[in-house]
Amino acid sequence: MRKTRSMVVSMRLPTESGNRLKRLANRHGWTPSDASARLVEEGLRRSEFAFIDFCDSAAGRQAYIQGSSLAVWEVMLLVHSYKADVSGVSRHLKWPESKVQAAINYAKAFPEEIESALSENAATDFEALKRMLPQAAKFSFASAAKS
């Protein structure tokens, strides 16, 4: 989430909720204040955009399409490869068009977030991936056809 001007909002939480917030903050290396601001922002985005949820990933917390394992930026990768053909992407994913459109709507509202993820993905080559995932193996159609 990008940093912008901020305002102070005071709130009371039940003790157990406050403890859970602190544990979440510690797990991510955030302050409790940062964690609560992120959770509020994510909640607002969930309420403003259909089919959007947020999940932890190796790249940090990202916007995902509900009921799937695909981050919004991954759906946008398909949208770009299908030249913005929503019905084509919908058929490819076996999703209703509304879920693909939800990813597009979110990406339009938060272009810096999505473009950053797309750029990071484009900059990751197989050697970088192999460092992160030692079990990764190159797959080629030619080697698969011989099996």
Average pLDDT over residues 92-110: 98
pLDDT interval class at 138 (50, 70, 90): confident
- How confident is the prediction for the chain on average, in pLDDT? 91
Residues, the chain: 147
Q: What is the pLDDT of residues 62-83, one digit of tens each?
A: 999 999 999 999 999 999 999 9
What type of residue sits at position 34? D
pLDDT interval class at 136 (50, 70, 90): confident
Q: Phi first, then psi: give them for residue 102, nearest 5 degrees.
A: -60, -40
The domain spans of the chain are: 72-136
The three-state (H, E, C) secondary structure of the chain, written as one string: CCCCCCCCCCCCCCHHHHHHHHHHHHHHCCCHHHHHHHHHHHHHHHHHCCCEEEEEECCEEEEEECCCCCEHHHHHHHHHHCCCCHHHHHHHHCCCHHHHHHHHHHHHHCHHHHHHHHHHHHHCCHHHHHHHCCCCCCCCHHHHHHC
Q: Phi first, then psi: give them for residue 56, nearest 5 degrees.
A: -75, 145
Q: Which pLDDT score, from 0 to 100, does residue 143 have?
A: 53
Count Cβ atoms below 10 Å from residue 90 Cβ, excluding itself: 18
Residue 135 clears pLDDT 60, i.e. is over it: yes
